[in-house]
Structure 1
Amino acid sequence: MLKYWPIIRSSTCFKLGVAAAVSYVLYLLAGFLLPLLLAIGLAFALYPLVNAIAKVRVAHGMIKLSRVVAIILALLAFCIFIVMIIGFILLPLFGQMNEFLQKLPLFISQSQGTDMHDIDAMLQDPTKIPLLPSDFNMLMTALVNWAMGFVSSVLRNLVQSSLSIVQSLIGLIIVPFLSFYFLKDWRELREMAVNLFNYDVQDRAAAVIDDIGRTLSAYVRGLAKLSLISGFVISVGTASLGIEFPLVLGFWAILAETVPVVGPLMGAVPAIFIAYGQSPEAAFHVALFYLVYYQLDANFIMPKIMGQKIDLHPVILIISLLIGAKLFGIVGMVFAVPVAAVYRVLYKELWHAGEGR
C-alpha cells in the first residue's frame, strides 16, 4: 500500500476528496468561524491606520507611540466611526426602513400574481380575466411585474437565511478583542502557524500564508473604499431623483458592492422596484442612473482602487456566489469571494506540489 501512496496522493480524485472534506468541515464550523473571519477582516482594515498612528511622535518628537497604544487608538477611532454611523445613518435608516416595511405589502401586491380567490372571481366574471400582452407596453409591464415578484421572493429568502445565521452569533462581541491580538501579535501567530508543518515544507507554508494575507488585506481595504463611495453616491443620487428611502438604498448599495459581478444588479433592482411604485417614469430614471454609475464604477472607480486584487474568472466568482447564497444567504455571498480567493491561492501553491511536469 505504501508504494502506491505517491501515486494516490498525486491523483485528481484524491485531491478533490481532500478539498471536499476540508470544505465540509469548514461548513460545519461556519457559525464558529464567522466571528474569526470578521476579526481578521477588521484587522486587515485597521492595519494601515495602526501603522500611521505608530509613526506619530509626541512631546516634541521625543516619545514614539508603542504599537499597543496605536492599536488601542485605532480601535477607539473605529468605535467612534461606528457610533457616528449609528447616529447619522442607521437611526435615520431605521426610520425609513419602518416606513418602507409599512409600504412593502403594497409594493408586493402590485407585482404578485393571482390567487385562488381571484381565479374564482374571474370564473364568475370573465371580464376580470387578465389579457395577454398584445403590444410592447403591455409586454414590458408584465415582464416588470414578474421580475419584481421574483426578486422580492429571492430577497426575502436571502434575508431570512442571513438573519437565522446572525441570530446565533453571540460570539460577535469578541471580534474587537480578536482583532486587537491579530494586530498586535500577527508575527507570532504567523510563526506559530508555520511551525505546525514539517521543516521541509515550512518555506512553502510561509509563502502560502503571506500570499493569502496580501490578497485579503488588499481586497478588504479596497472593498471598504468602494462600498463607502457606492453608498454615498447612491444615497445622494436617489434623493436628488426624488425616490423614497434614499438611505435604505444607499445602505443596500454598500452591501451590494461587496458582491462582485451580480452586485450591481442586486443594488439596482430594489431601487427600481421602489421607484416603479411611484411611477414608471421614476423607475426609468433610476434605472438610467444606476446604469451610468455602475458603468463608471466598473470601468474607472473599481480598477483604480482594486486593481487586480482578486484574480478569479467571472465563472468562478458566479459559482462561488451561488454556493454562498445557497448555504448562508447574504452573509455567504459577502464571504464567497475572499473564500474563493483563499482557495485559489491554495490551488496555485499546493495542487501540483511535488509533481513533475
Structure 2
Amino acid sequence: MWINHRFFKYLTGVILVLICIFFLELLHFFEPILKIFNTLFYPFLIAGFLFYLIRPLVGALAKIKFFPKPVAILVVFAGIAGVIYAGFNLLADKVIKQMTNISNLPQNLKDSAKEAEKQIEKKDMGMLSTDALSQRVNSFFSDFIQTISDNASQIFSAIAGATTVLIIVPIVLFFLLKDGHKLIPFLRKAFPRRFKVEVEDLLKDIDKTLSAYLIGQVTVAFVDGVLAYIGFLIIGLDYALVLSMFIIITAIIPFFGPIIGTIPAFVVALMQDPAMALYVIIIIIVVQQLEGNLVAPLVLGNRLHMHPLTIILLIIVAAPLFGFIGMVIIVPLYAVVKMVLKDLYKMYQAHT
C-alpha cells in the first residue's frame, strides 16, 4: 500500500520533529542553547581557522625527536607571538599614522569640495550651479568615507572589547592541535560497524578539503595584498600599507573580496589625484590576472569542484544574511555539506 512506502514514513518523522521543535520554541526551550552557541561560536570558529593554518607547522616540528607535540605547539605559539611582536614594532607607528590620516578624510573631502566650488565660480561665469554640484559631490564622497570610517571604528572597538575571545581561542587552539587527530576515530564510533570505513573516508576528505582551501585562500589573499602594496608604492598612493592590509582581509572572500578591498583605495586615489584612481584600477586588474592565471591555480587548484557561478550566488546570498563572516565561511561550508550529502547517498545506495 502506498501509505506504507518508505518515503511517507520518513516524511511523517520529519513532520513530527518539526512539530516538536515548534512547541519547544514556544516554551523558549532553545534560548539558553542559543546563548551558549552565540558565546562559543566565534572563539571556536577562529580557533578552527587557525588550527588548519598552524597544523602543518606543528606536524613538521612534532616529527623532530626532541619536540613532542605539546612542546611543538608551544614553540609555534611562541614563534607566532614573536612575529606579531616584531611586526608591531616595525609597522605600528606607520599603520597608526595612516589610520589617523584616513579618519580625517571626510573633513578633507568637505574642504576639497569648497575649494572646487571657488575655482568653478571663477571660471564658469555663473553658467554652472556650483551649489548643487558641490553639494552632490560632497554628500556622496563624504557620506561614503564617513560610513567606511564608522564601520572601521566599530570593527576595532569590537576587537578591542573581545578580551574573552582572546583568552579562549589560544586554549581551544592548543587542545585542537594536541588532540585533533582523535576526532575522526571518536566520530566514527557513533556509526554502525558496516559504515565505519565510509564514514572515516568521508571525514578525512572533509578535513583535507578544508585544510587545502583555507591555507590556499589565505595564501592567495596575502599575495594579493603584497602585490597591491607594491603597485600602490610604485604609483605613490597615500596610505598604501593600510589599504593593502585591508585588501588582504577582504581577499579571503572569493571573487568579491578583492573588489571590496579596492573601494577604499579607489576613493583615496580619487582624492589624491583623479588620474591616480585609474592607476589603482589598472593595478587591481593586473593583480587579479596574476591571481586568476598563476597564483590561484597553483595554490588552490580545483579543490572544491564548484562552478564559479555557484560560488558567486552563495556569496551574494550570504552577504545580506550573515555579513562578512558569512561571506568567508559560506563557500567551504557549502562544499562540506555537498560532500556529506553526496557520500551519505552513496552509502545509502550501497547498503540497501
| TM-score for both structures, normalised by structure 2 | 0.76
The answer to whether the 8 A contact 1:108-1:149 is kept is yes
Structure 2 residue matching 1:185: 3-state secondary structure = helix
1:274 correspondence with 2:273: no
1:6 correspondence with 2:14: no
- 1:194 — aligned with what? 188
Looking at both structures, which has the greater relative contact order when contacts are Cα pairs under 8 Å and sequence separation is at least 6? 1
Q: Provide closer, same or farther for how the CA distance between residues 261 and 170 of structure 1 changes in structure 2, counting only shifts above 3 A.
A: same
1:40 correspondence with 2:42: no
- Which of the numbers 39, 49, 58 marks the counterpart of 2:57? 49
Q: In the aligned structure 2, how far is the partner of 1:346 from the partner of 1:147?
A: 47
The answer to whether the 8 A contact 2:195-2:347 is kept is no
Q: In the aligned structure 1, how far is the partner of 2:319 from the partner of 2:187?
A: 30
Q: Provide closer, same or farther for how the CA distance between residues 331 and 306 of structure 1 changes in structure 2, counting only shifts above 3 A.
A: same
- Which of the numbers 31, 49, 68 marks the counterpart of 1:66? 68
- 1:76 — aligned with what? 78
- 2:239 — aligned with what? 245
Q: Provide closer, same or farther for how the CA distance between residues 164 and 96 of structure 1 changes in structure 2, counting only shifts above 3 A.
A: closer
The answer to whether the 8 A contact 2:110-2:138 is kept is no
Cα shift at 1:205: 2.7
The answer to whether the 8 A contact 2:213-2:303 is kept is yes
Cα shift at 1:292: 1.0
Residue-by-residue CA offset, 1:170-200 (whole Å, 9 max, x unaligned)? 3342212222211211222222222233434
Q: Provide closer, same or farther for how the CA distance between residues 243 and 53 of structure 1 changes in structure 2, counting only shifts above 3 A.
A: same
- 1:98 — aligned with what? 100
Return 5+ residue gaps in structure 1 as ranges. Answer: 58-63, 112-124, 132-141
The one-letter amino acid of 2:327's match is: M
Structure 2 residue matching 1:354: 3-state secondary structure = helix
Residue-by-residue CA offset, 1:23-72 (whole Å, 9 max, x unaligned)? xx999835522211221221211122112212335xxxxxx321222122
Cα shift at 1:213: 0.6
Q: In the aligned structure 2, how far is the partner of 1:55 from the partner of 1:96?
A: 43
- 1:343 — aligned with what? 337
- 1:117 — aligned with what? none
The one-letter amino acid of 2:182's match is: E
Residue-by-residue CA offset, 1:225-245 (whole Å, 9 max, x unaligned)? 222222222222212211110
Alignment of structure 1 residues 1-357 onto 2, 5 Å: 4=4, 6-8=6-8, 29-57=37-65, 64-107=66-109, 127-128=129-130, 130=132, 170-350=164-344, 353-355=347-349
Q: In the aligned structure 2, how far is the partner of 1:251 from the partner of 1:71?
A: 27
Q: Provide closer, same or farther for how the CA distance between residues 88 and 265 of structure 1 changes in structure 2, counting only shifts above 3 A.
A: same
Cα shift at 1:355: 4.5
Q: Provide closer, same or farther for how the CA distance between residues 158 and 96 of structure 1 changes in structure 2, counting only shifts above 3 A.
A: closer
**Number of residues of Structure 1 aligned to a counterpart in Structure 2:** 319
Return 5+ residue gaps in structure 2 as ranges. Answer: 22-29, 114-126
Structure 1 residue matching 2:279: 3-state secondary structure = helix
Residue-by-residue CA offset, 1:72-122 (whole Å, 9 max, x unaligned)? 2112112222223333335522221111011134448989xxxxxxxxxxx
- 2:26 — aligned with what? none
The answer to whether the 8 A contact 1:317-1:340 is kept is no
Greater helix proportion? 2
Q: In the aligned structure 1, how far is the partner of 2:229 from the partner of 2:132?
A: 37
Cα shift at 1:149: 7.8
Q: In the aligned structure 1, how far is the partner of 2:104 from the partner of 2:235?
A: 22
The answer to whether the 8 A contact 1:162-1:331 is kept is no
Q: In the aligned structure 2, how far is the partner of 1:165 from the partner of 1:337?
A: 25
The answer to whether the 8 A contact 1:161-1:329 is kept is no
Q: In the aligned structure 1, how far is the partner of 2:142 from the partner of 2:184?
A: 49
Q: Provide closer, same or farther for how the CA distance between residues 227 and 87 of structure 1 changes in structure 2, counting only shifts above 3 A.
A: farther
Cα shift at 1:325: 2.4
Cα shift at 1:353: 4.9
Root mean square deviation of aligned Cα = 3.9
- 1:116 — aligned with what? none
Structure 1 residue matching 2:267: 3-state secondary structure = helix
Q: Provide closer, same or farther for how the CA distance between residues 72 and 32 of structure 1 changes in structure 2, counting only shifts above 3 A.
A: same
Q: Provide closer, same or farther for how the CA distance between residues 106 and 202 of structure 1 changes in structure 2, counting only shifts above 3 A.
A: farther
Q: In the aligned structure 2, how far is the partner of 1:145 from the partner of 1:349?
A: 56
Q: In the aligned structure 1, how far is the partner of 2:34 from the partner of 2:232?
A: 38
The one-letter amino acid of 1:34's match is: Y
The answer to whether the 8 A contact 1:31-1:165 is kept is no
Larger displacement relative to structure 2 (252-261 or 44-53): 44-53
Cα shift at 1:343: 2.0
Q: In the aligned structure 2, how far is the partner of 1:152 from the partner of 1:86?
A: 26
The answer to whether the 8 A contact 2:229-2:241 is kept is yes
Q: Provide closer, same or farther for how the CA distance between residues 333 and 86 of structure 1 changes in structure 2, counting only shifts above 3 A.
A: farther
The answer to whether the 8 A contact 2:198-2:347 is kept is no
The answer to whether the 8 A contact 1:162-1:330 is kept is no
